[in-house]
Structure 1
Amino acid sequence: MGTRAAFVKKGINIELVSIIWMVIEAAVAIGSGIIAHSLSLVAFGVDSIIELVAGAVLLWRLIIEARDASVARVKWAEKTSSWVVGIALLLLTVYIVVTSIDKLVTHQGAETSFLGIGLAIASGVIMPYLSRTKKRIGSEIGSKALRADGSCSMVCAYMAWIVLAGVILTALFGWWWIDSVASLALVYYVVKEGWEAVEEARGKEDTCGCCH
């Protein structure tokens, strides 16, 4: 139990770090996106807000367990967290599809600002670490919701890399459409992870593929 308590504490710490970064990411992305008239950056900020909500719910779930709540209450918090994270991932799918199609229809490339590029680079480095840590801790304490939240963080990293690749390829070859197409390629992964979290919340415990 001591080892499990230590992992729960680590989970709380990593979610706190994640929440702080999501607040910074959302504020910078939306602010710089509005200034630069960049749909990509504003959408990136919306993505951060969705992940912020998921992270806050996971923090709540971990705090409940850290306070030595009953097994029943921890399971209830885990199930609630799975619902929220699953819905958050499915909302990410809607955001990806709508923004990508809008950019394809309006022929908008990966316009951005130096501040936005810096943010994307930072996110591309930070989020994979947060994702791996959340999934590892989730495996240690048997929290599929925390592993799903790790998938949320990985989606954020993918979106950051797509923004950077879009800026570079648009500048070099004029491929204004590349970031939209690459974003749409993520849809299957995001839907899969989101649906598995929802199925877990519904009580189908063996459906989560992200636990491998």
Structure 2
Amino acid sequence: MSVQALQVKKGINIEIVSILWMIVEAVVAIRAGILAHSLALKAFGADSVIELVASAILLWRLYVESSGASLERVKQAEKKASWVVGVALLALAGYIVVSAGFDLWTRSSSEKSMLGLALAIASGMIMPYLSRVKKRIGTEIGSKALRADGSCSIVCAYMAWTLIAGLVLTALVGWWWLNALAGLALVYFVVKEGIEAIQEARGVEDACGCGH
């Protein structure tokens, strides 16, 4: 097996792991968010669904290459994957803005959620690892889409730690508006990564600015 084929195989394995974790994360976060009336938790769950879609499209893209498809076919799969990741991230940003605006307008507050806090802590440790592996493999096999998916994973980690801070401070000081602001604080990262993924799908060189 060639080095390229071996790295693609590793990419497939890490995407399968990512998909399994995203399923757990999405179900738990959305349920906990609904029970606690927490925008940050629901947005976290929505991000997990988007990450699940991104991982699924990347898994398909990697299977295309591992099946021995032509270079042109692999490039087409790569572009489609980047488009899906980018559009999904921008959709998430829109959801966060609308939901945060609604919560601020209605002065909605969240309740304590130990389940949500535990999930966020676990995700805050797991997602940076998945992000590093995806970006490393993406660089090794020349896949900007896989590197963008790695960026999705690190956005998920940012969301996890922002969520932890929001849940803890809301529980301690009772600031009703902190939940919405915690969600809005993530919009910059989400939009930035979404635009970069779309630029990569359009063929803009080094859209991520990472120098690869």
> TM-score normalised to the size of structure 2?
0.91
The structural deviation recorded for 1:161 is: 1.1
The structural deviation recorded for 1:142 is: 1.0
The structural deviation recorded for 1:175 is: 3.1
The answer on whether the counterparts of 1:25 and 1:45 sit within 8 Å (CA) in structure 2 is: yes
The structural deviation recorded for 1:172 is: 2.6
- The AA in structure 2 aligned to 1:66 is S
Assess, with a 3 A threshold, how the Cα gap between structure 1 residues 46 and 59 changes in structure 2: closer, same or farther.
same
Secondary structure at the residue paired with 1:80? helix
Does 30-39 or 78-87 show the bigger shift?
Answer: 30-39
The answer on whether the counterparts of 1:34 and 1:42 sit within 8 Å (CA) in structure 2 is: yes
The structural deviation recorded for 1:34 is: 2.7
The structural deviation recorded for 1:193 is: 1.7
- The AA in structure 1 aligned to 2:31 is G
CA RMSD of aligned residues (A): 1.9
The correspondence of residues 1-212 of structure 1 with structure 2, limited to 5 A, is: 2-210=2-210
Unaligned 5+ segments in structure 2 are none
The answer on whether the counterparts of 1:33 and 1:112 sit within 8 Å (CA) in structure 2 is: no
Residues of 1 paired with 2:101 and 2:82: CA distance? 29
Residues of 1 paired with 2:58 and 2:199: CA distance? 17
Identity %: 67
Secondary structure at the residue paired with 1:203? coil
Assess, with a 3 A threshold, how the Cα gap between structure 1 residues 180 and 210 changes in structure 2: closer, same or farther.
farther
The structural deviation recorded for 1:157 is: 1.2
Residues of 1 paired with 2:124 and 2:108: CA distance? 22
The answer on whether the counterparts of 2:38 and 2:179 sit within 8 Å (CA) in structure 1 is: no
The structural deviation recorded for 1:83 is: 0.6
